[in-house]
Copies of this chain bind each other. A is one copy, B any other.
Amino acid sequence: MAVSGFDAQRDRLLEGLHGHALAYSELGRQFGAALGLHVTEANALIEILGAQDRGLALTQSALAQRVGLTAGATSSLISRLEAAGHIRRVRDTTDRRVVTVHANASVDARLHEFFDPLVERLSAVLSRYPPDLLAECDRLLTEVGATMNDYSREQR
């Protein structure tokens, strides 16, 4: 009984996470469509902007890993985003082999315009939960994510 109840609960949780991944994917497509971008281009731009909002600059190889492309395809993708005026390449000064990718302010504004209303709503949802529960969920998600990433690394 307890085992079977746990299994059902686990499956519900994993299914909820899967549903979120699909929703995330769809929102990325929609954001990209608004800028006339292909799926992978949109995903890349979101990654670049997300990193930038946290004060980090992605290298090309970091970006390649996050969007699941080879170096060649990523270079090509960056060129397209650069040609569209959304980003620019910057050669790193400490290691001249490395390129970092920087998004323009106008496209950052577009990202916020698209996602900020959603974040407001999610804030409203989350504010109805007690802070210690949020912290526990955060911890659980971090552990789940780390477990998945470890497993993924082992399959390479």
Contact = CB atoms under 8 A, between A and B. Distances in A.
Contact of A138 (B7, B12, B119, B122): B12
Interface string A120-156: 0111011101010111111011111101110110011
Nearest to A123: B10
A24 B17 contact: yes
A68 B142 contact: no
A125 B155 CA distance: 20
Interface stretch (A25-33, A79-87, A92-100, A102-110): A25-33
Interface range, A side: 35 or more
A139 to B, nearest CB: 9
Contacts of A149: 19, 23
Contacts of A145: 16, 19-20, 23
A48 to B, nearest CB: 14
Interface of A: 5-7, 9-10, 12-14, 16-27, 29-30, 39, 50, 66, 68, 117-119, 121-123, 125-127, 129, 131, 133-138, 140-145, 147-149, 151-152, 155-156
